[in-house]
């Protein structure tokens, strides 16, 4: 019996190519999809034989082609941002066809749209849909769940991203420009998801050595503000990004950078979980090449879904709702994508026996 087919939408972009290569290295047959039939055929010729690599052109405004794509595959990995433009048609087609879906979105509005608009359809058709299963969003969601494991009350979850050497693709630059210019931002404060203007500020996040304390842009608009409160009992969730990330000269002018240059990114993602009465826990992941890490995370999720190793329910789910957080992070560590450091849960001291 042939293994379930996995499709990649946006396959000719940098992330799509990484995802395709990772799937092929795991022995999976794939369908390359996107808007440019010629570019898809050229990539297929480059990657492998026709029996392992197929193509399916599907413009965003062609609902029939998108439906045919999602009906032909067991899982679809969506790699073509900005998701504010591409997310709805591709994700809707997957939900309606009962095709499992994973994407690389960072935009909170897209993540919120998935939960608000596609939950009922996905539950009805049996699709498992996981937005932002990537470097931004997915790792933070898994990390927050791992750090907060066992806590019944949390005052605040703060996610800190320290990123250096980021070379943006064309899609990433367009996404960043949309997010920077956004007026109504999604936040989670005082136990509620809110949409509206937000004051941007500078603060300091205490990253572990060797990074150390860094000046941050806060809040950083990433979709984990939507997903973390679904499984962590927090009053406030906020993400922050090192201010020097956007100060590096090449970050907005690197659309034509080669794969080797993009792979030089270094990162630490840290989660700080504080309790209402003070104290808390910390954890972090670190490594190199945010693009490859995101590709590996999405492929690991897609392969599990294709092989029946997903959650016991359908619908739209955050990364840590779909998979146990610590084992999934440890799998990424085993694959060489990152290093995981988690504080052991603190056990209260035993009471002295009564005398």
Cα dihedral across residues 222, 31, 292, 228: positive or negative: positive
What is the tens place of the pLDDT at every residue in 256-285? 899 999 999 999 999 999 999 888 999 999
Lowest mean pLDDT among 55-59, 223-227, 246-250, 348-352: 348-352
Check pLDDT > 50 for residue 352.
no
User: Above 70 in pLDDT, residue 162?
Assistant: yes
pLDDT at residue 351 tops 90? no
Residue 344: pLDDT band with limits 50, 70, 90: low
3-state class (DSSP) for residue 256: coil
| CATH 3.40.50.720 placement within the chain | 6-133+294-323
* Percent of the chain scoring above 70 in pLDDT: 96
Query: For residue 62, how far is the Cα from the chain centroid?
Result: 26
Rounded Cα–Cα distance for residues 107 and 81 (Å): 10
Taking residue 105's Cβ as centre, other Cβ atoms within 10 Å add up to: 28
Q: Which pLDDT score, from 0 to 100, does residue 1 have?
A: 40
- Cα distance between residue 223 and residue 135, in whole Å: 11
Q: Which residues make up the CATH 3.30.360.10 domain(s) of the chain?
A: 138-290+326-342
pLDDT per residue as tens digits for the range 28-56: 999 999 999 999 999 999 998 989 999 99
Of 109-113, 273-277, 290-294, give the lowest mean pLDDT range.
273-277
Q: What are phi and psi of 195, to 5 degrees?
A: -130, 125
Farthest CA pair distance, the chain: 82
pLDDT number for residue 124: 98
pLDDT band at 114 (very low <50, low <70, confident <90, very high): very high
- DSSP secondary structure of 40-63: HHHHHHHH--TTTEEEEE--TT-H
Of 168, 151, 163, nearest to 270 by C-alpha is: 163
Class of domain 6-133+294-323: alpha beta
Summarize the confidence of residues 213-229 as an average pLDDT.
97
* CB of 126 closer than 8 Å to CB of 312: no
- DSSP, residue by residue, 267-331: EEEEEEEE-TTS-EEEEEEEEE-HHHHHHHHHHHHHHHHHTT-S-SS-EE--HHHHS-HHHHHHH
- Please name the CATH architecture into which domain 138-290+326-342 falls: 2-Layer Sandwich (3.30)
**pLDDT bucket at 353, cuts 50 / 70 / 90:** very low
Q: Is the peptide bond before 210 cis (omega within 30 degrees of 0)?
A: yes
């Amino acid at each position: 019996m042939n293994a379930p087919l996995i499709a990649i939408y946006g396959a000719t972009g940098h992330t799509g190519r990484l995802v395709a290569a990772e799937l092929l290295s795991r022995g999976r047959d794939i369908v390359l999809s996107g808007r440019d039939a010629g570019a898809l055929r050229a990539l297929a010729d480059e990657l492998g034989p026709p029996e392992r690599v197929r193509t399916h052109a599907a413009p965003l405004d062609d609902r029939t082609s998108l439906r045919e794509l999602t009906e032909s595959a067991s899982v679809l990995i969506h790699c073509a941002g900005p998701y504010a433009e591409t997310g709805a048609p591709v994700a809707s087609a997957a939900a309606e066809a009962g095709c499992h879906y994973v994407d690389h979105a960072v935009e909170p509005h897209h993540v919120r749209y998935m939960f608000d608009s596609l939950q009922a359809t996905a539950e009805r058709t049996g699709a498992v849909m996981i937005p932002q299963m990537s470097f931004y969003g997915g790792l933070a969601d898994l990390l927050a769940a791992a750090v907060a494991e066992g806590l019944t009350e949390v005052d605040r979850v703060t996610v800190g991203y320290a990123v250096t050497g980021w070379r943006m693709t064309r899609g990433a630059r367009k996404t960043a420009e949309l997010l920077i210019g956004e007026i109504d931002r999604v936040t989670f404060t005082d136990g509620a998801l809110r949409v509206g203007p937000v004051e941007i500020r500078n603060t300091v996040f205490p990253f572990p050595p060797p990074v150390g304390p860094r000046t941050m842009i806060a809040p950083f608009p990433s979709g984990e503000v939507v997903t973390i409160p679904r499984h962590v009992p927090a009053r406030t969730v906020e993400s922050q990004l090192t201010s020097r990330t956007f100060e590096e000269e090449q970050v907005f002018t690197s659309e034509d950078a080669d794969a080797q240059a993009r792979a030089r990114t270094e990162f630490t993602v840290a989660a700080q979980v504080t309790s209402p009465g003070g104290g808390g826990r910390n954890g972090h992941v670190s490594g190199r090449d945010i693009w490859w890490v995101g590709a590996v995370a999405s492929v690991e999720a897609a392969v599990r879904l294709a092989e029946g190793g997903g959650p016991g329910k359908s619908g739209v789910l955050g990364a840590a709702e779909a998979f146990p957080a610590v084992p999934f992070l440890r799998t990424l560590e085993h694959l060489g994508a990152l290093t995981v450091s988690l504080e052991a849960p603190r056990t209260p001291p035993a009471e002295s026996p009564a005398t």
